[in-house]
Structure 1
Amino acid sequence: MQETNSLLATARAKLEASLLAKGLRRSGERFAILEEVYSRNDHFDAEELFLAMHQKSYPVSRATVYNTLEVLVDCGLVRKHRFGEEDNVKSRYEKSLGRQQHAHLVCTVCHKVKEFCDPRLHLIQTNVGNALQFSVESHSLVFYGQCTDESCATKPTDDTGKLDSNA
């Protein structure tokens, strides 16, 4: 819990500095959205964040949520992902402070996102950077496929109720 509070305090200070530097308002809504983001441990879209704020009876507009997410991305407090190639793919977000570099698995059926860490990824990043004389700042690796999670609610089934491996 103390680590979470320290992380949130660091995030708040970084947001405040960024807002001051850009001449943007330091509104209570922006800091409440930051707090909601840093209370989560998932990948979420703006609408999910908006609904979470309203479920907690925090009156914030959709526009404020969308705009604040862009501010948070801009100052490095949130990462923005677009998992998939379709035009209708929603942007998904995750907090970035206090997080180690990781990669993602995205189910093309239920759209759940899972994270994984593997130290070999850092080694590959370092080796590629050295070999190509390139200073790698970060990387993004996403695997797409079907999860084998039985709770995958939208997983297609055949007539017998068994999972359809041809779907």
Structure 2
Amino acid sequence: MKKSSKEKAQKILDNYLETNNHRKTPERYAILEAVYSMKGHFSLDALREKLEKKHFPVSRATLYNTIKLFIYLRLVICHRLADGTKYEAINDKENHIHQICTVCGQVTELEAPKIVHAIEDTKLRRFAQEVFSLYIYGVCCSCKQKTSRL
């Protein structure tokens, strides 16, 4: 991911830990590094595997608690998808749209600038929008072909 996004995330984490008198553990920073090096959506198992490949294994509890902290700090977003819970690093106001197949669970991201601008321009009452993810559910072309052959 963008180096500037990762640096901003590290500063946010540093600020939070210093302000709240929490320890700056190597585990938190290793997890942050791994999160911002993941491409797209990832599961906690995939994140754990990445950390193990870098010879930095962490306990499941440490991973869950750190991801929970990152969600609180708005460094990570949680997606509840058909194939389970997935996470994604938040990069500089990255709004996006997901297409989700209800048959196979495949998730793809869609570029739709008109929809993004319409949502960004929407006046929300008593609410400050930061980022958004839009989910469109349907059937992908592969699954549609398979079902039409029956």
Give me the TM-score of the superposition, normalised by structure 2: 0.82
Structure 1 moving runs of 4+ over 3 Å: 132-136
2:15 equivalent in structure 1: 17
* Aligned ranges 1:1-167 → 2 under 5 Å: 4-84=2-82, 90-126=84-120, 128-129=122-123, 133=125, 135=127, 137=129, 138-149=131-142, 163-165=146-148
In structure 2, give the amino acid aligned to 1:164.
Answer: T
Q: Can you give the 5+ residue segments of structure 2 that lack an aligned partner in the other structure?
A: none
In 2: Cα distance, 1:166 partner to 1:142 partner: 28
| Identity of matched residues, % | 33
State the shift of 1:32 in Å.
0.7
Deviation at 1:104, TM superposition (A): 0.8
State the shift of 1:140 in Å.
Answer: 3.2
Bigger-Rg structure (1/2): 1
| Structure with higher helix content | 2
Structure 1 Cα separation of the partners of residues 22 and 141 of structure 2 = 46
**Count, aligned residues:** 149
Higher-strand-fraction structure: 2
Greater length-normalized contact order (CA 8 Å, ≥ 6 residues apart): 2
Question: Structure 1-normalised TM-score?
Answer: 0.74
- Are 1:101 and 1:117, in contact at CA under 8 Å, matched by a contact in 2? no
Pair 112,24 (structure 1): closer, same or farther in 2 beyond 3 Å: farther
Counterparts of 1:92 and 1:67 in 2: how far apart (Å)?
Answer: 15
